[in-house]
Chain A
Amino acid sequence: QVQLVESGGGVVQPGRSLRLSCAASGFSFSNYGMHWVRQAPGKGLEWVALISYDGSTKNYADSVKGRFTISRDNSKNTLYLQMNSLRAEDTAVYYCAKDSYSYGHGYFDYWGQGTLVTVSS
């Protein structure tokens, strides 16, 4: 069965960096686009970034463009999100989600359990 397990969340000061990881299993990771989606406390879902199956295409929400970098290591079946210059408004549960297609233009058919990032001094 498909499993997505996020890690790397925690408490970080404003302006600092954090890297999230998402370990995938139960499907051919290298064939599918992947996303990061976040949810601030008590708020709705916000798409953050996507990466195509081979890493050749990366798109970002305007709110994180220039600060966050999505990447993947298909040899390790792992998705990453490097978050730099963190702000209080980045505080959220971060979910990784599998796309139904290779280039990430489909729907999110599987989600991880999420990892909480808290940006606070």
Chain B
Amino acid sequence: QVQLQESGPGLVKPSETLSLICTVSGASISSHYWTWIRQPAGKAPEWIGRIYSSGTTDYNPSLTSRVTMSVDTSKNQFSLNLRSVTAADTAIYYCARARYCTSATCFGGLDVWGQGTTVTVSS
């Protein structure tokens, strides 16, 4: 079955860049939208953005100045970079697959999630 696995540092210093990779197994990364979600402790999930296998991206407007997503189809991976982090970026970060998407909507929901990785921003 399709599995996603997040990887990256668990601790990032303030003002530095948070970098995470999501490795997809059991399915090709091609022809799908892939997303990043984060969830601060005790709060609801927050949409960070999505990337299509061609490299087309959509970002949360509140994060767009600091976020970059990319895809590596040869490795079946996609990645997240979040620049100039602060303590407010401390959260569990999830990658997930979005189903049945057009350029504007995704009516199929997020059907496969990684287990999540905890990222703490602290000096």
Q: Are A and B a genuine interacting pair, yes or no?
A: no
